[in-house]
């Protein structure tokens, strides 16, 4: 099971990203400074847009999830309860995990950005995917919730999991560490 960037190049205005990499089963962290191209690579791996050069190929990947940096991009329903149902999940475990008990009738857009991120991550964590691409999963969370979700992500086994983050202090136990610098992705560990 893997996803590979085969000598890809992608340009937007003056920014160009290059990557030649294979993400195998396990947990990969991709770091990089602000504006280094993390979200760009995450979206390309998720199949949103195509590289200008090269290809992105997968092997053995069926189910997949792409979690975008801003959780409101994922909303499809007018209540938290309906939102959770749309993931085909039971309400209670998700609301407990997200710290949002008894809020099933609230409009998710009335949640704070951090609360909404908790809801979104709690839905992802209750499911299993062959390919999980998480763009800045810890953004908008406070220290306690960063640690909580870091620990929950640590417990996931199987599949290809790629976390794009500029956080360096709160990281799950990873198998491979990558960095994007000067528009080039390289493996550092």
The token pair at 121 is: 């991550």
The whole-angstrom separation of Cα 88 and Cα 105 is 17
Give 69 or 126: the residue with its C-beta nearer to ligand ATP: 69
9 makes contact with ligand ATP (CB under 6 A):
no
Query: How many residues in the shown chain lie near ligand ATP by CB under 6 A?
Result: 12
Interface with ligand ATP (CB under 6 A), residue from 4, 31, 40, 140: 40
| C-alpha distance from residue 41 to each of 8, 81, 82, 99, 161 (Å) | 10, 32, 31, 31, 14
Interface with ligand ATP (CB under 6 A), residue from 24, 35, 59, 113: 35
Nearest to 137 by CA among 155, 115, 118: 118
166 makes contact with ligand ATP (CB under 6 A):
yes
50 makes contact with ligand ATP (CB under 6 A):
no
Interface with ligand ATP (CB under 6 A), residue from 18, 37, 54, 159: 37
- Side-chain half-sphere of 127: how many Cα atoms within 13 Å? 21
**φ, ψ for residue 5, nearest 5 deg:** -100, 115
140 makes contact with ligand ATP (CB under 6 A):
no
Q: Interface with ligand ATP by CB under 6 A: which residues?
A: 12-13, 15, 32, 34-40, 166
């Amino acid at each position: 099971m893997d996803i590979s960037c085969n000598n890809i190049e992608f340009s937007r205005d003056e920014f160009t990203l290059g990557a030649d990499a294979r993400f195998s089963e396990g947990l990969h962290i991709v770091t990089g400074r602000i504006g280094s191209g993390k979200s760009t690579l995450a979206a390309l791996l998720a199949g949103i847009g195509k590289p200008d050069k090269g290809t992105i190929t997968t092997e053995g990947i069926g189910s997949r999830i792409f979690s975008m940096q801003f959780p409101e991009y994922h909303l499809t329903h007018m209540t938290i309860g309906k939102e959770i149902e749309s993931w085909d999940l039971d309400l209670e475990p998700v609301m407990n995990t997200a710290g949002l008990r008894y809020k099933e009738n609230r409009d998710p857009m009335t949640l704070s950005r951090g609360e909404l991120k908790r809801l979104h991550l709690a839905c992802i964590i209750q499911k299993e995917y062959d390919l999980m691409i998480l763009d800045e999963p810890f953004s908008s969370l406070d220290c306690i919730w960063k640690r909580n979700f870091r620990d929950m992500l640590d417990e996931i086994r199987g599949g290809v999991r790629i976390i794009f983050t500029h956080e360096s202090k709160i990281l799950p136990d990873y198998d491979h560490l990558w960095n994007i610098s000067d528009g080039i992705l390289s493996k550092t560990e």
